[in-house]
Chain A
Amino acid sequence: MMTIEKSLYEGEQICLASIDHENDPQIESGWTHDAEYIRLLGPEPVRPLSPAQIKKKYEAIEKEIEEEKNSFYFTLRMRSDDRLIGFARLNWIEWNHGSGHIELGIGSPQDRGQGYGSEALKLLLNFAFDELNLHRLSASVPEYNTTALHLFQKAGFQVEVRRRQALQRDGRRWDMLHLGLLRQEWSP
């Protein structure tokens, strides 16, 4: 049972927080040099970005949130020491249809497999359904990212669409999976 006293941002170990323009660019620049991380996220080609480029990206994200009013972006941080571990994003919100799309990433390999992604997803779903009152969420997962697929499925998402051979990586084709979760299927 949700109450107004319960924080929207705090999980057990991690929390949803704002961007720290001072310190985050250096850390995220490191993540963009990790080809595995970028490839797990989606179809974008790997491209190492400098801290200055990352800072520009943050500015563009915040400008879009402010002007378009159809997206939200959170950094993921450890509650213990506020250390940046990833991001969670809610975008392509179509208010007339009550729908939105989510993405999340845990940047450093050492922080993966610790349950942070599943905590982040729980917080993001709660934000989308309980604060924004959305009706459905979708997510896209490359076929080869089985960890993400299981994470979303555990939270109740169903594979709705399989765009055959939409990706080419390491000399072979892979499907792009599109998942969906309806509000009534969500168990907070």
Chain B
Amino acid sequence: MNAILLTGSRVRLACQDAQETSLAFARWQRDTQYVRLLSTDPAFPWSAEKIKSWMVEEQEKPLQDEFFFNIRTIPDDLLIGFVGLHEFSWAHGDAWVAIGIGERQYWGKGYGTEAMRLALQFAFMELNLWRVSLGVYNNNTRAIRSYQKAGFQIEGLQRSAGRRAGQVWDICFMGILRREWEKSLE
């Protein structure tokens, strides 16, 4: 049995306290580069109160709906981002993963990659999924490299699916199968 399912060497996956997390999310989304790379939604500075109410609402839903974690550094326990599995298709063992590192000084240093590896370990070892999917803007090369390091393969491009700052971007779909993940551990 793996007793350290949620703990890596530099980060761990932890609970999302609605109060602490909504304040952090509200602060991170003032960084428009972060939010425009994170999702296809229009950038908008939602209040911490509103974010908190969504989070509480989600947390009151049945547990199998989604699994979101905060990413905290080891050993100083700073909240630097989030990672979550959602949109489960339980009958087929498929789910989507989303990740964001809101604290910029932790970009490009491997923290996100380690957190993603923990999320995959959780997906395959705890939820017993068959595969995990994700979508990322194709010009977010830093993120794509990180996902490839964690074992994801590119499965295709949705052409011209995003328009940001006067440019047309493709959305890259990536996936990892359970056996590919197992192989990456060898």
Contacts and interface: CB of A to CB of B under 8 A. Distances in A.
Interface of A: 43, 45, 94, 96-99, 135-136, 138, 158-168, 173, 178, 180, 182
A175 to B, nearest CB: 9
B42 interface: yes
Contacts of B41: 96
A99 B168 CA distance: 12
B131 A162 contact: no
Interface of B is mostly: strand
B133 interface: yes
B134 to A, nearest CB: 10
Interface stretch (B68-76, B108-116, B159-167): B159-167
B102 interface: no
A180 B130 contact: no
A166 B92 contact: yes
A168 B159 contact: no
Given A161-B173, A165-B177, A96 B158 contact: no
A160 B131 CA distance: 19
B142 to A, nearest CB: 21
Q: How large is the interface on B (under 10, 10 to 19, 20 to 34, 35 or more residues)?
A: 20 to 34
Contacts, number: 70
A-B pairs with lowest CB-CB distance, top 9: A161-B156, A161-B173, A45-B91, A96-B42, A43-B89, A166-B94, A160-B156, A168-B92, A167-B92
B40 interface: yes
Nearest to A177: B156
B162 A43 contact: no
Interface string B84-127: 00000101111000000000000000000000000000000000
B157 interface: yes
B160 A173 contact: no
B158 A182 contact: no
B151 interface: no
Interface in B143-165: 155-163
Given A99-B161, A168-B91, 5 more contacts: A97-B162, A135-B163, A136-B161, A163-B131, A164-B177
B81 interface: no
A135 B160 CA distance: 9
10 contacts: A99-B161, A160-B158, A161-B155, A163-B94, A165-B130, A165-B177, A166-B94, A166-B131, A166-B133, A182-B160
A43 B91 CA distance: 8
A163 B134 CA distance: 10
Given A99-B161, A178-B173, A162 B156 contact: yes
Contacts of A168: 91-93, 130
A180 B158 contact: yes
A74 B137 CA distance: 32
A136 B155 contact: no
A83 to B, nearest CB: 32
B158 A138 contact: yes
Which of A94, A96, A161 has its CB near the most chain B CB atoms (within 10 A)?
Answer: A161
Given A43-B91, A94-B40, A138-B158, A164 B175 contact: yes
Contact of B160 (A45, A136, A165): A136
A98 B173 CA distance: 19
A6 to B, nearest CB: 28
Contacts of B158: 138, 160-161, 178, 180
Nearest to A45: B91
Contact of B175 (A163, A173, A182): A163
